Structure 1
Amino acid sequence: MKGEFVPPWLELLLSTQFFNTCTSHHNSPRNECNLFCIDCQAPEAAFCYYCRSCHHSSHRVIQIRRSSYHDVVKVSELEDILDISNVQTYVINSARVVFLNERPQLRGCGVLAIKSSPSSLSSYNCETCSRVLLDAFRFCSLGCNVSYKPLQQVLFKLILLCNLICSPILG
């Protein structure tokens, strides 16, 4: 995804908090805000089942699901609108999903622990957060894919900044 245009709705999706109770439908069943509209990009990005019927019936909507308290999206809902080929997929409740954001890691489970272990279980790690990956993917989540900055790119920007600061002012 890096090197390509990151759609504005994706950054909004990654920063949105889901599964709160809908303020408009707080007394109704199925009132958790677990839907996201790609077309609207409204400030209230997360909405419930009833809000979809009222305001988003003809829009492209993604349903957010939960797995171990972390937000996931079915691959089938994203693959036609976003390149997720570098993001680790998981099968949860018989559906192939991707995690929206980086998940906390247990101590001793990162790259250093794996590299120091003689019997490494995986040689694949997320290029952003170093989480162990199950397969030959580059990122553990959509968020890590979006926030990835290759070391060369960071060093180049630092060198440019240093040159600007250190160069004599021409008068």
Structure 2
Amino acid sequence: MVESGENPAWLEVLMREKFFNACLVHEEAKKNEKNILCLDCCFSICPHCFTSHTSHRLLQIRRYVYHDVLRLEDASRLMDCSFIQSYITNSAKVVFINQRPPTRQFRGSGNICCTCERSLQSPYLFCSISCKIDDVMKRQGDLSGFLRDCKYLPLTENALDDGLMTPDSTLEPVGSARTSSGSGGYGGVVWCRTLACTAATTEIVRRKRSNSAATCRRITAASSTAPGAPASLLNRRKNTPPQRAPLY
């Protein structure tokens, strides 16, 4: 975790703030989640607070698999994001802000996070910004070589809706997370194909049952109208075994 001192105050807020809570100032308004960090005021705001901070540096927080992330492009303006594993959501690369829950270790190729030992893809060394900050602080004692001087962050009011929780980002299973290398990117396609196959199978079964019922009705109708049909044959119950002929 970031230590207080010479480090910028906005960085501490970024690491510790609980984003996407309702804004108390605009409590009755829709889409009032606090998903923007004002780097100059060092607190989070909602899209309705945007007009009061248009001249400030604003950093938009996004959600991916129920965790806070930053667009890699935005984060790279503020800090060195090299070797932090990135993912793709809504056609944009993102990096996690805080350390992620540990995963079960596996055998095979790949790296592990230098801080929390979470499984990573090669050549990444950190699973989140927080893990890289912890590693830099242990090795160097400060973040002078990690942080970058950024005096402007491009954020327009029309782009704010992108950062809200959307179904295709927050409901995507963790196992189908697409990385920047493209591995695992077919998870959504497999899910769609599974739904399509299930729907097709259901339709086929429904049609077979419908055709079978119609065939039974036609056979019954034909048997009842056939001349000379034995009454015992027409009234025979289903699954009733035939009677054996008498022995002479």
Query: Is the 1:128–1:139 Cα contact (8 Å) retained in structure 2?
Result: yes
Residue 38, structure 1, aligned to residue 35, structure 2: no
2:71 to 69, 74, 97: 74
Instruction: Give, in whole Å, the separation in 1 of the partners of 2:122 and 2:8.
Output: 26
SS at structure 1 position matched to 2:77 = coil
Instruction: Give, in whole Å, the separation in 1 of the partners of 2:10 and 2:125.
Output: 22
Query: Is the 1:37–1:60 Cα contact (8 Å) retained in structure 2?
Result: yes
Residue 61, structure 1, aligned to residue 48, structure 2: no
Please tell me the residue identity of whatever aligns with 1:15. R
SS at structure 2 position matched to 1:79 = helix
Matches within 5 A, 1:66-145: 66-106=63-103, 109=104, 113-114=105-106, 117=107, 120-122=108-110, 124-145=111-132
Instruction: Give, in whole Å, the separation in 2 of the partners of 1:103 and 1:64.
Output: 16
Please tell me the residue identity of whatever aligns with 2:114. E
Deviation of the 1:36 alpha carbon: 0.3
Correspondence for 2:21: 20
Q: Which runs of 4+ in 1 moved over 4 A?
A: none
Correspondence for 2:48: 50
Deviation per residue, 1:61-90 (Å, 9 max, x gap): 111111111000101112122111131111
Please tell me the residue identity of whatever aligns with 1:51. C
Deviation per residue, 1:84-112 (Å, 9 max, x gap): 11311111121100000111124xx1xxx
Correspondence for 1:29: 30
Please tell me the residue identity of whatever aligns with 1:71. D
Identity %: 39
Please tell me the residue identity of whatever aligns with 2:28. N
How many residues get paired? 136
Structure with larger Rg = 2
Please tell me the residue identity of whatever aligns with 1:72. V
Correspondence for 1:162: none
Query: Is the 1:89–1:98 Cα contact (8 Å) retained in structure 2?
Result: yes
By percentage of residues, which structure has more helix?
2
Deviation of the 1:136 alpha carbon: 1.0
Query: Is the 1:6–1:146 Cα contact (8 Å) retained in structure 2?
Result: no
Two-structure CA RMSD over aligned residues (Å) = 2.2
Deviation of the 1:137 alpha carbon: 2.0
Instruction: Give, in whole Å, the separation in 1 of the partners of 2:8 and 2:15.
Output: 11
The TM-score normalised by the length of structure 1 is 0.72
SS at structure 2 position matched to 1:80 = helix
Deviation of the 1:50 alpha carbon: 1.2
